[in-house]
Amino acid sequence: MLLVLVGCGPKEPALTSEELLDPEACADCHQEHYRQWSGSMHAYAAEDPVFVAMNERGQEETDGDLGTFCIQCHAPMAVELGLTDDGLNMDEVPDMLEGVTCAFCHRVEEVTADHNKGLTLSDEDDLLRGGIADPVETGAHRSAYSPLHDRGDAQSSDLCGSCHDLVSPNGVHLERTYLEWTESVFGMGGVSQLTCGNCHMRGSDGPAVNTEGAPIRRVHDHSMPGVDIAITDWPEREAQLELVQESLDGTLIGSVCVNPNAGLFDIQVTLENAGAGHAWPSGAAADRRAWVELKAYDAAGTEIFTSGVVGDTEPIAELVDPWLWLLRDTMTDANGDEVHMFWEATDSESDLLPPSVTFDATSPDFIHWVQRTYTVVAGQPARVEARVRLRPMGLEILQSLVDSGDLAEEHLSEFPTFDLGSVTMVWDGPLGSCTDD
């Protein structure tokens, strides 16, 4: 049975083929979805000066061999329509085709590969798929239910995962969020199943269209915060920054313990990836820099040990610090030397916090926390301050893009350093105790 809404019924004029591609044409009726999406990294994906700079440098260094490799995920509709071969002419491509657009996600008909955007769009450009099984009829477009677009169905993770897993042209599996999810307790099916959308598209009750009389549904947030934020003037930038902080604040749990050890003192830091349905950090983990900053003081308040302390403009990876606990992927070339750019990598090594693989506390696999012990020789700690910090991208990578003339220097100062709220910890107990005792 179809309901007909006042002012939003089948008499609505049908959107033209061009309008169907334009997120702004959706805003008339799906205002909230549009607002949330417009501040997301999906909207920013091809606008991001770092993306533009890296693609430019990649095309130059590979003599154009990269082709559509990068832009196929960062502006998939522009590639679908054959308007770009390399992403270098985005100035000539209409703005409405930049980024991962409404029409792209909502026209996906089939997932053909679990990496490198193995997604096929339907030829019917006016048939938009979503998770609503009984959509109200509208003249604007046809609607259809699809399990690929229903976060309650495991297949919806295949849709996201196809772009969130990247195998480079050299065959290196550089972004593995989807693979990590399939191997986690959340991706194994059954009662513990949580799809990408379950965690990343918060549900709330409200109308899916801003028309009077629209039915109340479970609607899904499209802001999809992760760790990246816009570094140029961009809609919803402040709101997105807050969402990223909020989501990072609930991701890890941890503790700090201090124990005597043969006349010296051991500070033991434990971190557990409690919230993410994949490793942490994940995805572009070769670009991310997450690390533990530790400061220990004696009873007189004198600093007796530090690790991971850097200034706001100092790259963490260049810190000379034998104790540094840095969570990241490291890409290397055939000589085993570290490289910063996707296309140069022939191998990649990973040091991340793994996700849960079981909720059975009696299983040996239950333990997925990671511990590091720091030995203090300069005195007895009376107070230890620890925090986990994250930069969406290593400053040395950004500097390298500035040095090659691909990125404007002014962007460097726009990169945030996040502190994760739940693992900003202070220990000041008796020796042998832990912050979570």
| Range 256-295, binding ligand HEC (CB under 6 A) | 275-278, 280-284, 287-288
Confirm or reject binding of residue 106 to ligand HEC (CB under 6 A): yes
Distance of CA 315 to the CA centre of its chain: 21
Other CB atoms within 10 A of residue 397 CB: 20
Confirm or reject binding of residue 329 to ligand HEC (CB under 6 A): no
Least gap, CB of 432 to ligand HEC (angstroms): 32
Q: What's the burial of 413, exposed, middle or buried (CB within 10 Å: 0-12/13-18/19+)?
A: exposed
Distance of CA 149 to the CA centre of its chain: 19
Residue 141: partners with Cβ closer than 8 Å, 6 or more residues away: 14, 15, 20, 126, 127, 128
Least gap, CB of 251 to ligand HEC (angstroms): 4
Confirm or reject binding of residue 107 to ligand HEC (CB under 6 A): no
Confirm or reject binding of residue 389 to ligand HEC (CB under 6 A): no
- 59, 93, 96, 225: which one binds ligand HEC (CB under 6 A): 225
- 39, 51, 354, 423: which one binds ligand HEC (CB under 6 A): 51
Q: Which of 182, 214, 185, 156 is nearest to 31 (CA)?
A: 214
Task: Please confirm whether the linkage preceding 322 is cis (ω < 30° from 0).
Answer: no
Other CB atoms within 10 A of residue 107 CB: 23
Other CB atoms within 10 A of residue 400 CB: 17
Confirm or reject binding of residue 310 to ligand HEC (CB under 6 A): no
- On whether the CB atoms of residues 332 and 345 are closer than 8 A, the answer is yes
Confirm or reject binding of residue 100 to ligand HEC (CB under 6 A): yes
- 39, 226, 254, 308: which one binds ligand HEC (CB under 6 A): 226
- 161, 254, 308, 354: which one binds ligand HEC (CB under 6 A): 161
- On whether the CB atoms of residues 294 and 267 are closer than 8 A, the answer is yes
Q: Name the residue type at position 412.
A: L
- 90, 97, 227, 304: which one binds ligand HEC (CB under 6 A): 227
Residues 185-224 that bind ligand HEC (CB under 6 A): 186, 194, 196-201, 208-209, 214-215, 217, 219-220, 222, 224
Q: Which stretch binds ligand HEC (CB under 6 A): 15-23, 78-86, 319-327, 372-380?
A: 15-23
Cβ nearer to ligand HEC, comparing 386 with 393: 393
What six digits make up the tokens of 305?
């040990």
Confirm or reject binding of residue 178 to ligand HEC (CB under 6 A): yes
Least gap, CB of 277 to ligand HEC (angstroms): 2
Confirm or reject binding of residue 45 to ligand HEC (CB under 6 A): yes
What six digits make up the tokens of 215?
């039915």
Confirm or reject binding of residue 420 to ligand HEC (CB under 6 A): no
- 79, 93, 166, 327: which one binds ligand HEC (CB under 6 A): 166
CA distance 428 to 381: 8
376 vs 203, 349, 391, CA distance in Å? Answer: 47, 29, 27
Judged by CB under 6 A, how many residues of this single chain contact ligand HEC?
105
- 111, 136, 230, 386: which one binds ligand HEC (CB under 6 A): 136
Least gap, CB of 184 to ligand HEC (angstroms): 7
Confirm or reject binding of residue 58 to ligand HEC (CB under 6 A): yes
179-218 per-residue burial string, b: 16 or more CB within 10 A, e: under 16: bbbbbbbbbeeeeebbbbbbbbbbeeeebbbbbeebeebe
Cβ nearer to ligand HEC, comparing 125 with 266: 125
Residues 331-350 that bind ligand HEC (CB under 6 A): 342-343
C-alpha atoms less than 13 angstroms from C-alpha of 222 in its C-beta half-sphere: 23
Confirm or reject binding of residue 26 to ligand HEC (CB under 6 A): yes
Length of the chain: 437
Q: Which stretch binds ligand HEC (CB under 6 A): 65-73, 258-266, 329-337, 423-431?
A: 65-73
Q: What's the burial of 114, exposed, middle or buried (CB within 10 Å: 0-12/13-18/19+)?
A: middle
CA distance 291 to 391: 9
Q: Which stretch binds ligand HEC (CB under 6 A): 23-31, 257-265, 294-302, 314-322?
A: 23-31
- On whether the CB atoms of residues 300 and 356 are closer than 8 A, the answer is no
Cβ nearer to ligand HEC, comparing 296 with 393: 393
Q: Which stretch binds ligand HEC (CB under 6 A): 163-171, 299-307, 321-329, 421-429?
A: 163-171
